[in-house]
Amino acid sequence: MRGVMRSYARRAKHGAGWLLAIVMVKLMLFVAAGAVAAERKNLNLTVQEMRRTAHVLKEANEGSDVAQYRLGMMFLEGKLVRRNIAQAVMWLRAAAGQGHVRAMYVLAMLYGTGQQVPQDWVESYRWISILAEEGHRMAQYNLGMMLENGQGVARDSSLAMKWIEYAAKEGSPSALHHLRQLEENSLREKMGRTSFRNELVGLAGKGDADAQYRLGQAYLNGFGVTKDEAGARKWILQAAAAGHAGAQYAAAYFFSVTSGAAEDAEEVLKWTSQAATQGHPLAAFNLGGMYEFGVVVEKDWVQSGRWYVYAAGVGNANGLSHLKEMAKICNHFPESAECEGFTLRRIAEQADAETLYRAGLALKDGDGIEQSFIDAQFWLRYAAVRGHVGAQYELGDIFETGLGVGRSRAQARYWYSRAASGGFALAQKRLAKLMEHPEIKED
């Protein structure tokens, strides 16, 4: 997300549509209440669960967008009520009509995938474009993909690239991965033109590191030229020596870690370390793996954890899954040599706030990694206590909505207030919404 999110005033032009949606929902409230009451007779619910359902329905009826979102998700997932897609969409629309971010995103994904509702790319585009304008990085990535493929909107490759780059600048693993694919496809297409090949060779010969790297990639993959590993190695190593991070990452693969040769091991470590230090996400992940498994270096899980979290911060969240498994092992076998000095808390304390925020956001959104609200909360909290307003807002959302944790109005208010005082516009809006419904019960 870009610093302070843009004002929701932009949505005023959609106000008439939202008003209609809200009016329609109010007309159906009594029907929904009756349906929930009837379903309770057929569900094996505890008294506490029945009360919780009643509270959510009451709050939704009173206009709480959070309750409307939660009720929609209950119907969508079949939790505490019978699964009912029509009811789910109705309540999600009510919440989305009030500007609820998660409701808009869920609707966009539902209509885009067409898994539980008839596929409707136009409707998906409607919601995703609003969120993208507000700075939601996964919405920006998805909007770019829709523009690239002409889904719900006319195909526009240039505009698609703009939105994907927005998401990539904020560290979205999905966006960064897609950009790498686009760059490779672009090189493959351009190398089919003689004029481009000649120009690239000329620039590489003059010492242009980026041209050397791309020429090396072309020889390595046979793009427009005959595959030539020796030629690829020559150009990539030249670019790597000049400091090109992508070339440094690629250079490590010219040396075998299984040969037993000390020289090879030194080269792998040198190039991987240099690329990782420059923020190359794949190199940072690989370096974390080298320390985790003791490849080329002495096994060191503390160092491994540092690089895995750093990798998540620069766009590769896969290491967070490794970290979680490493922590499980150390919880069960704390006497293991690998576990000496290793804790997730120690790793988090040594990472910077922006890295922690991006790691937590990837987990919260399921961006390049399996979604986990509980794990997201862990990393976001460390960023939030250091004053990161984006992390503070995300924690507020987790506690207000009850994502993976017990719903807590007090915690939501606390984190929203901190983010709002730091000038975070969306937190200011959520805080105002929170105060509109003082009777909302805790779970």
Give the CATH number of the domain where residue 373 resides. 1.25.40
pLDDT in tens, 150-197: 999 999 999 999 999 999 999 999 999 999 999 999 999 999 999 999
Judging by beta carbons within 10 Å of its beta carbon (0-12, 13-18, 19+), is residue 436 exposed, middle or buried?
A: exposed
pLDDT at 260: 74
Please report, in angstroms and rounded to a whole number, the separation of the first and last CA atoms in the chain. 29
pLDDT at 421: 97
> Are both 384 and 347 inside the same structural domain?
no
Q: Which of 139, 169, 135, 18 is nearest to 426 (CA)?
A: 135
> Are both 323 and 397 inside the same structural domain?
no
Domain boundary among 351, 370, 385: 351
> Are both 293 and 363 inside the same structural domain?
no
Round to whole Å and give the CA distance between 246 and 226. 22
> Are both 390 and 326 inside the same structural domain?
no
User: What is the arithmetic mean of pLDDT over 337-344?
Assistant: 96
| Sequence-ordered list of residues with C-beta below 8 angstroms from that of 314, at least 6 positions apart, any chain | 171, 279, 280, 281, 284, 355, 358
**Could you list the residue range(s) of the whole structural domain that residue 51 is in?**
8-156
Round to whole Å and give the CA distance between 415 and 427. 9
Domain boundary among 316, 351, 386: 351
Q: Are 306 and 350 in contact, with CB atoms under 8 Å apart?
A: yes
Question: Quick check: is 303 in a domain?
Answer: yes
Round to whole Å and give the CA distance between 30 and 16. 23
> Are both 209 and 74 inside the same structural domain?
no
pLDDT in tens, 275-288: 999 999 999 999 99
> Are both 418 and 359 inside the same structural domain?
yes
pLDDT in tens, 66-87: 999 999 999 999 988 899 999 9
> Are both 150 and 13 inside the same structural domain?
yes
Question: Quick check: is 170 in a domain?
Answer: no
Question: Quick check: is 266 in a domain?
Answer: no
Question: Quick check: is 46 in a domain?
Answer: yes
Question: Quick check: is 169 in a domain?
Answer: no
Question: Quick check: is 223 in a domain?
Answer: yes
> Are both 42 and 87 inside the same structural domain?
yes
Specify the higher pLDDT residue, 45 or 429: 429
Round to whole Å and give the CA distance between 221 and 182. 15
| Total tally of structural domains belonging to the chain | 4
Of 66-80, 157-171, 233-247, 255-269, least confident by mean pLDDT is 255-269
Domain boundary among 139, 156, 173: 156
> Are both 389 and 410 inside the same structural domain?
yes
Question: Quick check: is 197 in a domain?
Answer: yes
> Are both 90 and 134 inside the same structural domain?
yes
Question: Quick check: is 176 in a domain?
Answer: no
Q: What is the DSSP letter of 12?
A: G
> Are both 56 and 108 inside the same structural domain?
yes
Of 261-265, 292-296, 428-432, least confident by mean pLDDT is 261-265
> Are both 197 and 247 inside the same structural domain?
yes
Average pLDDT across the chain, whole number: 89
Instruction: Please state the φ and ψ torsions of residue 12, each to the nearest 5 degrees.
Output: -55, -35
* Confidence at 51, pLDDT banded by 50, 70, 90: confident
